[in-house]
Amino acid sequence: MADRKAQLRENLAATRAEIERLSAQTDRKPPQLLPVTKFHPAADVALLAELGISDVAENREQEARAKAADLPQLRFHMIGQIQTKKANHVARWAASVHSLDSLKLAQALERGVALAKERGERESNLPVFVQVSADGDDARGGVSRHALDELVEAVEGSEHLDFAGLMVVPPLDADAGEVFRGVRDEVDRLSAALKRPLKLSAGMSADMAEAIAAGSDIVRVGTSIMGPRPVG
């Protein structure tokens, strides 16, 4: 356990140093680091908490729910696709959702948060990032550009959801920098329209440099911090 903690400490320090180095090449402040802990045991996530981490991200609802129950000292953020039928669960434990991609899901989360508040399982609204599809392929999640404003308007009109910004995952064959810059432009456009600062959640271990160069506010880093996912 001591070896694992030392390894995580070293990985965190290296990742933070790289974020600082990349951010120094821009005119923006360094983005928030959101460690992605999917597939790694709760014991590892507990070590991150001991190292001063307060927020982590998960991709799968059931796994995240279990870890959130075991580790109430941490805030867990949902970054994976959400089945509508799981919205009530997500509404109870999620500190934010980075993968809102449909009106149907927005409505389900709205009902879920209302219910969680009614039952005393949650006090605050749920911040949500709308996931933008860079190529219109719904299979990977994300809303197409032409449907973006309608979804944002729905969230803005909701009682229990707070629109926080946009998230994007570039397709494997895409120019990541170009994708990030395009969605950064959308964040800035919506920020101006809504008259408040919104955030861009973009960049993972493999494309963090491109994301920071494009002006990401939150980078979601898994492998560089946690190492390869456990086998078996």
* Per-residue pLDDT tens digits for 132-166: 999 877 667 899 999 999 999 999 999 999 999 99
Contact (CB, 8 A) for 166 and 190: yes
32 pLDDT more than 60: yes
**For the whole model, what pTM was predicted?**
0.96
Q: Alpha-carbon distance 161 to 125, whole Å?
A: 5
Q: What is the rounded CA–CA span in Å between residue 83 and residue 153? A: 21
* Domain ranges, ordered by start, for the chain: 2-226
* pLDDT value of residue 136: 77
pLDDT at 140: 73
For 54-103, the DSSP string reads -EEEES-HHHHHHHHHH-TTSEEEE-S---GGGHHHHHHHEEEEEEE--H
CATH topology of domain 2-226: TIM Barrel (3.20.20)
Residue 231: the pLDDT is 62
